[in-house]
Structure 1
Amino acid sequence: MENSELDFNIPGREIAVAAEALYLANLMVVPGVAFVILVVLWWREHDRAPELARHHLRQTVAASLWAGALLVVANAAIILTGGYDAASTWIIVILYFTTCHATLIFCGAIGLAKALAGKPFRFPLIGPK
């Protein structure tokens, strides 16, 4: 039978978990604040951190920038289709949250699970190689 215990001594695991948790916090709990903390963590650790931590830091910062860009695109679509008082606003909001936002959260949850296991994770489509 395979040993299913986690190895908590993997170099960079703590930073990888922190990066993924901050990414999810930015999407769900404290947007902006968690992003600033994530960027500060990236700034402090991206050169000296172990490979696992650098990988997760790079992925979460890139995914956070993509999430921000998608939010700007959704707001631009709302403005271009009649503003926030138009009926199309709700269509765009619902489509954005059920496709883009939910997918970003889902990928962040997988990234957090991989970080906890001490493994790398690449966000599909938007993650840097």
Structure 2
Amino acid sequence: MNSEDDFGITEDKQGQSLAVTAAALFLLNLLALPGLAFLILAGLWLKVGPDTPPLARQHLKQATYVSFWGGLLIVGLSAAILLAGGLQSAWTWVVLILYFTCIHSTLILLGMIALIKAMNGQIWRYPLIGPTVDAP
């Protein structure tokens, strides 16, 4: 490998680069490319096979499930708040903006923790809505 191909990234544990990719796609879905990043993430999850390293498999599973459930939480409950309060009520918008901001920023914070864990080659489980971690 010549120096032009070395980007300073070394994979300490097997599957670490795929784990980092999963965490990065989770954050991209929340911050820059909603929907598109989820489709890529879900496509990667569907390609996971028994020969995929456990670290990568766990991060893909966590990121995909939490993206799905987090999206349902954000969209579903935001719609319910709008329907319950009506579009004309100022309090509807106060509650909606507070709810959206709290859930969205919490998911971003947890996604950053997942990215750090993936970069360190560690397993991560999102609290409350993350699926259980498979036994090693």
TM-score range for the pair, normalised by the shorter chain length: 0.7 to 0.9
Q: Which has the larger radius of gyration?
A: 2
Q: Which residue in 2 is equivalent to 1:81?
A: 85
Gaps of 5+ in 1: 1-5
Identity of aligned residues (%): 44
Q: Which residue in 1 is equivalent to 2:126?
A: 123
Matched letter for residue 19 of structure 1: A
Gaps of 5+ in 2: 1-8
Residues 44-101 of structure 1: per-residue CA shift (max 9 Å, x gap): 125431000111011101110111111211122112211x343133213322233211
What's the RMSD between the two structures over aligned residues? 1.6
Q: Is the partner of 1:125 in helix, strand or coil?
A: coil
Q: Which residue in 1 is equivalent to 2:106?
A: 103
1:12 shift after superposition: 0.6
CA distance in 1, matches of 2:51, 2:91: 48
Please list every run of at least 4 consecutive aligned residues from structure 1 whose deviation after the TM superposition is greater than 4 angstroms: none
CA distance in 2, matches of 1:85, 1:30: 30
1:9 shift after superposition: 3.2
